Amino acid sequence: MENLEQSLIRIAKAIALSRGKNCETVVHNKQRTICFIQNGHVSNRRLGSVMDRQVFEYLDERARENDGIVVRLTRKPTGEMLKSTTVFFYGPDGEYEAMLCFTLDLTAVNQARNMLDALMDLEPFEDRENFSTNMNLVDYTHLVISDIIKEVGKPSTLGAKEIKLRILSKLDEKGVFLLKDSVPQVCDLLSISQATLYNYLREIRSKNTPLLPVTPSLK
């Protein structure tokens, strides 16, 4: 029957095989010594290395507060981003027995995310001066609503009433509901009926000084 150390080594091999060459797996024995390592190029650790006692005590304290698990995001001096997960194993007496660690090199993922963020950045195309000429009320309403949505929350997150109330409150402050045809536009964006919109506005304005009484005539 295999002991704890042997079991952890088998699990570490499985994780490395599953995650590929960008995932380093390590097993530390009871003496904090690395007794198994695969894909050591990720963190440059080596077989036989001993974890510094201060580092061990820091991780051990955090692990005992979180069901034996510590997850960290770190950067190597050369800039690579790493996500490390350390699992502590304790004996029946609560004493440390072994550690299983696996570290993912997220550098390529982070670069891809930054590239996507750059591709999705519409800021250069949203300069208000581009709309200053030939802008009608519909264009202006759309622009204000878009700015408020960006400030408060994205359309994909508009399920909660609280977020909708915050958006409507901001729109009310901007005087959007004084503009022609603004109510149907807002209702469409928030997926609510006009009756619901007026009810929400009453709720908002009961706590603030209203711009105008809430009536369908605001349309």
- In this prediction, residue 219 carries a pLDDT of 38
Between CA 165 and CA 211 the distance in angstroms is 16
Q: How confident is the model at residue 204 (pLDDT cuts 50, 70, 90)?
A: confident
pLDDT tens per residue across span 68-82: 999 988 877 777 888
pLDDT tens per residue across span 149-160: 666 665 445 456
Span 109-125, average pLDDT: 65
The pair of structure tokens assigned to 219 is: 């349309």
More confident residue, 165 or 124: 165
Between CA 86 and CA 60 the distance in angstroms is 10
Do 52 and 45 touch, CB atoms closer than 8 A? no
Domain edges within the chain: 4-111, 122-218
Q: Does domain 4-111 have CATH number 3.30.2130.10?
A: no
Give 139-146 contacts, CB < 8 A, sequence gap 24+: 140/179, 141/176, 141/179, 141/181, 141/182, 141/185, 142/185, 144/171, 144/174, 144/176, 145/171, 145/176, 145/185, 145/186, 145/189
Do 110 and 123 touch, CB atoms closer than 8 A? no
Question: pTM for the full model?
Answer: 0.51
Give yes or no for residue 166 having a pLDDT over 90: no
Do 103 and 20 touch, CB atoms closer than 8 A? no
- In this prediction, residue 163 carries a pLDDT of 80
pLDDT tens per residue across span 84-108: 999 999 999 999 999 999 999 988 8
pLDDT tens per residue across span 9-30: 999 999 999 989 999 999 999 9
Between CA 3 and CA 21 the distance in angstroms is 27
The pair of structure tokens assigned to 139 is: 């264009």
